[in-house]
Amino acid sequence: MRRIERTFGRLRKISSDKIKKKNHLAFENQIIKRNYYLLKHHLLFLLDSGLDFLKREYVKRNSETSFMEFTSQNYYDFILKDYIRKKIKNQINSILNSGLLCIKHMVDDTVDPDFLDQLINKNYPEYESNDLSLLHSSNNHPGFSELKTISQLTFRIAIIQTAYILSCQDLEIKTYLQLMKKVFPTKKDSQEALNSIFSMFNQMVDCFERHLQMITIPFYKPTFNIRDFQFVRICYEYAIKIVDEQLNELYPEEEL
């Protein structure tokens, strides 16, 4: 009986520890918490939308026979999708949580550069461990340092923009679109913020295209054939298309 009680006691402690780890976020107020979850839910929606598009393209390019189509669908659904989603979701969490920490270190909507440098040094390893571009590249290749620099800059820019969005204190906001419209009043403002991120993604793809031999696809790490850069470009262009559609929805009265 005592053994059973001790076992349940350990289980309760483990469960409690897990809950504490999940609930470690400290929000300065409910408005910031609202902004955090509006942004997070939208990013996860975009992630799932992108994964649906990725499946269609992946299956289309691996369906020379009915058997290949069946195999590629199952491979994507049961292996590839979860692998990609987990990695990108972890990156989203790294960005959001880092941005949250920056809010107390902002002056005139600008994050203190010294604090930002310290934060990136501390949190980048977690982001890096989930970066698909780095995970499937040879770190011995001369082009790897360029790729890692792009990854670090992407993380930095994303944190700065996230902190700016999360710090919005408007009480009336209830939706993601309202939040974006308040933070970026004009279409030009929003486009400039997006371009800073997309320019990093574009540099990443360009780096791969110049160094195809840098790509490594270990058999034990499930992934699509990244060497097909027509496929990668299509996915990148799809992301731009979705963003343009959202900008038109957000600013229907404006033209760039």
Q: In the predicted model, is pLDDT for residue 221 greater than 90? A: no
pLDDT band at residue 119 using 50, 70 and 90 as cut-offs: very high
Predicted TM-score (pTM) above 0.85: no
Is 214 strand, coil or helix?
Answer: helix
Q: In the predicted model, is pLDDT for residue 225 greater than 60? A: no
Main-chain dihedrals φ then ψ at residue 109, nearest 5 degrees? 65, 20
Query: Considering the chain, what percentage of its residues have pLDDT values greater than 70?
Result: 84
Q: Are 147 and 207 in contact (CB under 8 A)?
A: yes
User: Would you mind telling me the total number of residues written for the chain in this entry?
Assistant: 256
Q: Are 241 and 198 in contact (CB under 8 A)?
A: no
**Sign, Cα dihedral of 130, 136, 141, 145:** negative
Average pLDDT over residues 226-246: 74
Q: CA-CA distance, 32 to 20, in Å (whole number)?
A: 20
Q: Are 147 and 212 in contact (CB under 8 A)?
A: no
Q: In the predicted model, is pLDDT for residue 8 greater than 50? A: no
Q: Which long-range contacts (CB under 8 A, 24 or more apart) does 216-220 make?
A: 216/136, 216/137, 216/138, 217/136, 218/136
Say which residue, 3 or 222, is predicted with more confidence: 3
Say which residue, 126 or 62, is predicted with more confidence: 126
Q: List the structure tokens of 74.
A: 């199952």
Q: Are 54 and 228 in contact (CB under 8 A)?
A: no
DSSP letters along 16-38, please?
HHHHHHHT----SSHHHHHHHHH
pLDDT tens for 120-168 read 999 999 999 999 889 888 999 999 999 999 999 999 999 999 999 999 9
In the prediction, which pLDDT does 77 show? Answer: 82
pLDDT tens for 79-111 read 788 988 999 999 999 999 999 999 999 999 899
Is 139 strand, coil or helix?
Answer: coil
Q: From the CB of residue 131, how many other CB atoms can be counted at a distance below 10 Å?
A: 24
Q: In degrees to the nearest 10, what's the CA dihedral of 62, 64, 65, 70?
A: 10
Q: Are 207 and 143 in contact (CB under 8 A)?
A: yes
Q: CA-CA distance, 215 to 227, in Å (whole number)?
A: 8
